Amino acid sequence: MTSPLAGRPIYRMNGIGNEILVLDLRGADLTVAPAEARAIARAPGLRFDQLMVLHEPRQTGADAFMRIYNTDGSLSSACGNGTRCVAYILGRAGEGDALTLETDAGPVRTWRKGETRFTVDMGRPRLGWREIPLAAAAPDTSNVPLAPAVQGAPTVFSAANMGNPHAVFFVDDPSAVDLATLGPQLEHHPLFPERANISFAKVVAADDILLRVWERGTGETRACGSAACAVLVAAARAGLSAREARVRLPGGDLVIAWGPDDHVLMTGDVELEFETRLEARVFDEQGA
């Protein structure tokens, strides 16, 4: 049977290289099943890092509720680069320059800073070991021993939750890391009961950080906004950086600021690549 999503318009975007699809289901009593998300990800030209699906808001004052899918059909509670893409699409539709978007991790506020530039309030980092979560008690989540060890990985990491769990490893050269090998091993490490986004970072200066990311449920990505936030928090906690810095990823740069109110703000650009409609064969061929 053809998916009811067939024929729906979908927007292909990127947030500094992070491959994003935006699917607006507001006004329709539809949801996306994991198999449908996987089918869309396999369709020619529609491969994504995150699929941002918009539903009617659940609370007064919100503009939309977002569900965020990874390529394997699993759900993510946060995606900063994707949220900026959503803000662009809603702004283009006349929703305004300041928006409140609901997620499973709570409300997220966004502001337009330029034609294609947006700031997202990613909220407060959660730093307790239970709320990250970790599988074992860690009195100092800025310096957690990696046990059991993983060959080729540093022996300690910094952990944080920025809507989803993150593990940050500081290294001399992120480009030299065998991310294809270490990424999946660390994502599924027994210390992370909900898996984790894995970051390898180098602090070049107090306001300049290099970063590569392996995203849970997706793999290596050219950019990850929540990881950039987690890395800035980790670096600042360790005294390696200021509380505001440029975070440089393979796809481009983000400006991350950890404010005195404990909220982490992310600012960066987005690009609309094209708009199309989901074809029935996308789902029929994949058995979705």
Catalytic residues: 79, 224
3-state secondary structure of 6: coil
Classify the C-alpha dihedral 274-275-276-282 as positive or negative: positive
Number of other CB atoms surrounding residue 138 within 10 Å: 17
Give the phi and the psi of residue 218 in degrees, each rounded to 5. Answer: -130, -45
> Hunting for tokens 């991350």 — which residue is that?
256
Distance CA 86, CA 256 (A): 19
> Contact 101/89 with Cβ under 8 angstroms?
no
Paired sense of beta strands 244-249 and 208-215, if any: parallel
Q: Is 278 exposed, middle or buried (0-12, 13-18, 19+ CB in 10 A)?
A: buried
Distance CA 236, CA 146 (A): 21
Classify the C-alpha dihedral 90-81-29-7 as positive or negative: positive
DSSP string of 205-218, one letter each residue: ETTEEEEEEEETTT
3-state secondary structure of 70: strand
